[in-house]
Amino acid sequence: MALVEGLTEKEATTLIADREKKPFESVQDFLTHNALAGLKVDGKNLATSSRYFLFTAKVHIDRGQAQLNSVLHRLPDTVKVVMRNQGEL
């Protein structure tokens, strides 16, 4: 079952573009977005918070540079590394 039945690729692209400009601060902000007007949205399992984060570290020394990307999972008492790589994700 899809989260939004009948969502077109264009509407999904609009949602993503708008989210990148200004993230949704609440589930209600998402549900009232113009791209979803008239569509049935199953919002019961939606949230605007996350326990997963992308950490990017960039280092420049003289003419050299390095980048390290880590996906982190925040737990109640600790933070675990889920994935790590060097370079672009």
Residue by residue, pLDDT tens for the chain (89 residues) are 567 888 899 999 999 999 999 999 999 999 999 999 989 888 888 888 889 999 999 999 999 999 999 999 999 999 999 999 997 65
Q: Could you tell me if 77 and 34 lie in one domain?
A: no
- In terms of Cβ atoms closer than 10 Å to its own Cβ (0-12, 13-18, 19+), residue 76 is exposed
Among residues 60, 14, 10, which one has the least CA distance to residue 33? 14
Range of the domain at 10: 1-48
Q: How many domains does the chain have?
A: 2
Global pTM? 0.59
Is-contact 40 7, C-beta < 8 A?
Answer: no
Q: Could you tell me if 69 and 34 lie in one domain?
A: no
Q: Could you tell me if 11 and 34 lie in one domain?
A: yes
Largest Cα–Cα distance of the chain, in whole Å? 56
Residue carrying the six token digits 């079952």:
1
Q: Could you tell me if 21 and 56 lie in one domain?
A: no
Q: Determine the pLDDT at residue 53.
A: 95
Q: Could you tell me if 44 and 19 lie in one domain?
A: yes
